[in-house]
Structure 1
Amino acid sequence: MTPVRLPDAEWQHADGLKSVLAALDDVYGGPRYVGGAVRDTLLGLPVSDVDIATALLPNEVINRLEAAGIKAIPTGIEHGTVTAAVAGKNYEITTLRRDVATDGRRATVAFATDWQEDASRRDFTINALYADPKSGEVFDYFEGLSDLEARRLRFIGDANQRIAEDFLRILRYFRFLARYGGGQIDGDAIQACAAGAHGLTALSRERIAQELTRILGLKDPVASVELMIDNGIFTPFLPELARDAADKLRHLVEREAQFAQPVSLTARFLALLTRGIVAADKVAARLKLSNKMREGFAQRLRAGVPIPFNVRAIAYRADIDAARDAVMLYAVDVQVPECLARLEQWDIPTLSIKGGELIVMGLPAGPVVAKTLQAIETSWVAEDFPDAARQRELAVQAVKAVLSGLD
């Protein structure tokens, strides 16, 4: 059989990569590219990260890199991973391994020199592809190439065992399914994910949030999320999941495509949840989401239902992104285009009236000035942010009203 060879791609010609590979040359058939760089190049997709596998022990990797004048960073040396930093790029280099013990969260490993043994401990067949940098030959130990061609996602070996080694693989399965799937769904894999979902409680909230964020950030995660819901994957960590979460997410994703809007992780998270600031805040706290995301939830939920008349007011009180997300999530279908148009190329204005001007108009200094400014601002927003001349008219009216009340 004619060997499959890795197509030429721009990333293979990056400055510094050849020097890293030359430094790691050995008698075991390595180094080799592994994982995502091989998979995505075969699919004709762009490659951002290049991982390298080697039979050399981690300390030998460090010594060889440093001897070649390449910065070596022991990023995960206890698990065999060293990062080479050269010419403005990082390359993750990992020694071939075999699992000694696993507990569903992390593994104890021993270093090895057998390529197939290293491949057997990986998660999916399409991630266990290696390529020789010199010849381009692709090494496939578990029929990953045929799975890649069929857009079929399979665990290596027994799915239940792979999941028991690291329960995060459940969420990784649905992420990879959303990105690379499209062929026949592996029923055994889905059953194994459902059976192992309870193990997600053993993982750190940060790891769960990271994977969930990656799933929601994909172009169209709806089918995967629907499978997750149907198989109880969210149950251990997201009790606030809305009953109609799949429908709401589908509606949002369809709107994003229809109106050429960028993916908003904040909006997609909210599409999954029962509507309410308290529920959203609990989710943010449990998953240890960023303060920005947490506040973003509250801004969008406070917005109410946007309509063309109030959408700029929503943006003024929060920001343009929050208003746009509120439109995508909550606006009536027929009003979405006009709401978006009113936000397009609109810069949030600033009220030009200041407290000093109110005092010049006769208002006594003190708390009444701030209250009057708030009243002026409320009227200005209600009138859809008129120009400076109208702002002054509103100020004069407000000052007269206050002074007449003081008489």
Structure 2
Amino acid sequence: MQRIPWTMPDTPVWLQGRSIIQRIQEAGYRAVFVGGCIRDQLMGDAVADIDIASDAPSPIIEDLFPHTVAVGKAFGVIIVVDQGRHFEVAQFRHDGPSLDSRHPQSIRPGSEAEDVLRRDFTFNALIGDPQQGEIRDHVQGLQDLQQRRLRLVGDAKTRLGEDHLRILRAARFAARFTCTLCPDTAQALCEVACEGVSKERVWSECDKVFGQAWQGRWIDFLVQWGHWRVIGPSDVLPHEVLGIVLQWWEHPLARDPMVAEIVLWHACIHYNLITDNSFSRWYADQPVTRERKKSISRALSILPQVSEDLPEVPQRQRLVRETIAPQVAACLQVIGARSAHAFAQSLKEEQERGPIPQLLSAQELITLGIARGPQLGVALRGIEDAWLSGRISDTQQARAWVHNHYL
């Protein structure tokens, strides 16, 4: 085991975490920081989430703190809520063999050394001890972190077999930290199938990646390792299409997560990896919000309509007034569409014009002689179209328009 001196940062999240550790220690138990918070702090990245490991059983943690959430009590995991922040406190444990590539067949209390051996990657298994003022490394994680090397703890295939989500996590960490892969880790990532991972967990991983500067490396890894189908709607992502996506994702506007997602699915549809209808069925089955499904689907519907030439007025004005229009404008620039400038200009013009005014109400149209029913809706929309086209601008002109076109 390697030990190095360590001074805990004095930011609020770390100080809150230390107070939790001290409370556990005062009760006669051991407690330390563990995992990603230590990794990110050593890498100079901001730390938002703190994980704590302890030899205190879950019931003790629940008794010690007034606000807790038993998210994984069977596995010794309790969330301690302090001043609105959530701190995961997990009991040191030893896991038995995996039952379903997700849950161990058995668990038992373990030591600090045993606990780190069940973790996924070596640089995620570092221990930070604020009381001793040191970092303890049982698995050569410090060396791997320093050399930007991704290595699974222990036997690589065994670690991946315990939880296939680790394949997606491997792609994320390798991309984020620009890691090289240890040979046994690289081999296992290509040979172990990523099966049985819930859609919710897959999308949680995707949402940590979309919009990141390193998202291209992430998808490149997944394609190389043969796991594109886990996240994508088509059986394969050919090298040529992957290259186009990587180029698009280099664009600064692809730092917007929604834009990044839209152009990825647009590539799949545009290059005939999947039909519109098949994609719609696939996306409808994904565990994302209804609003997100609506927005992404609408953007994918608009893009083919405007990629080459914009429609005539007033349809052009109506399109750029849709809620998703700013993201569509960004997508057009990302993919290098011929119409990108014209769409952006139309969007700006309509934003400056403001909302469509109600020049005449339905009741006013009825008073003018328009019958109730479908014709009333046609007339109302016609007035809006005339205003959008710049043919009318006030109520008097709207009345004249109605007389000339609908009476």
Shorter-chain TM range is: 0.7 to 0.9
**Aligned equivalents of 1:230 and 1:2: distance in 2?**
36
Residue 356 (structure 1) aligned with residue 363 (structure 2): yes
Matched-pair contact (CA < 8 Å) for 2:228–2:237 = no
Residue 185 (structure 1) aligned with residue 181 (structure 2): yes
Secondary structure in 2 matching 1:388: coil
2:4 partner amino acid: P
Match of 1:291 in 2: 290
C-alpha displacement of 1:392? 5.7
C-alpha displacement of 1:273? 2.7
Q: Deviations over 1:193-248 (max 9, x none)?
A: 22112x42x22222222222323243321122112113320235635255344234
Q: Scaled by the length of structure 2, what TM-score is found? A: 0.84
Q: Deviations over 1:147-167 (max 9, x none)?
A: 112222111122111111111
**Aligned equivalents of 1:330 and 1:18: distance in 2?**
48
The number of residue pairs the alignment matches comes to: 389
State the percentage of identical aligned residues.
Answer: 23
Residue 170 (structure 1) aligned with residue 167 (structure 2): yes
Matched-pair contact (CA < 8 Å) for 2:248–2:335 = no
- 1:7-406 matched pairs, under 5 angstroms: 7-11=8-12, 14=15, 16-25=16-25, 30-65=30-65, 70-102=66-98, 103-180=100-177, 182-197=178-193, 199-200=194-195, 202-235=196-229, 238-240=232-234, 242-243=237-238, 244-255=240-251, 257=252, 262-264=256-258, 266-271=261-266, 273-275=268-270, 276-303=275-302, 304-306=305-307, 312-328=317-333, 330=335, 332=337, 336=340, 339-340=343-344, 342-343=346-347, 346=351, 349-353=355-359, 354-381=361-388, 383=389, 388-389=393-394, 393=397, 396-403=400-407
**Aligned equivalents of 2:107 and 2:402: distance in 1?**
77
**Aligned equivalents of 2:264 and 2:184: distance in 1?**
28
**Aligned equivalents of 1:266 and 1:220: distance in 2?**
14
Secondary structure in 2 matching 1:155: coil
**Aligned equivalents of 2:14 and 2:208: distance in 1?**
28
C-alpha displacement of 1:308? 8.8
**Aligned equivalents of 1:223 and 1:59: distance in 2?**
43
C-alpha displacement of 1:41? 0.8
Secondary structure in 1 matching 2:6: coil
Q: Deviations over 1:241-283 (max 9, x none)?
A: 553442343233222x1x5863325425425532453233223
RMSD: 3.0
The 1:315–1:165 alpha-carbon spacing in structure 2 relative to 1, beyond 3 Å, is same
C-alpha displacement of 1:379? 4.2
Q: Deviations over 1:320-343 (max 9, x none)?
A: 44433542455526x545644554
Matched-pair contact (CA < 8 Å) for 2:33–2:52 = yes
**Aligned equivalents of 1:270 and 1:300: distance in 2?**
10
1:400 partner amino acid: N
C-alpha displacement of 1:74? 1.7
C-alpha displacement of 1:12? 5.1
The 1:61–1:227 alpha-carbon spacing in structure 2 relative to 1, beyond 3 Å, is same
Structure 1 runs, 4 residues or longer, greater than 6 Å off: 26-29
C-alpha displacement of 1:5? 1.3
* Structure 1 range deviating more: 184-193 or 167-176: 184-193
The 1:292–1:277 alpha-carbon spacing in structure 2 relative to 1, beyond 3 Å, is farther
**Aligned equivalents of 1:332 and 1:228: distance in 2?**
27
**Aligned equivalents of 1:234 and 1:293: distance in 2?**
22
**Aligned equivalents of 2:14 and 2:197: distance in 1?**
38
Matched-pair contact (CA < 8 Å) for 2:211–2:255 = no
Matched-pair contact (CA < 8 Å) for 2:119–2:153 = yes
Secondary structure in 2 matching 1:3: strand
Gaps of 5+ in 2: none
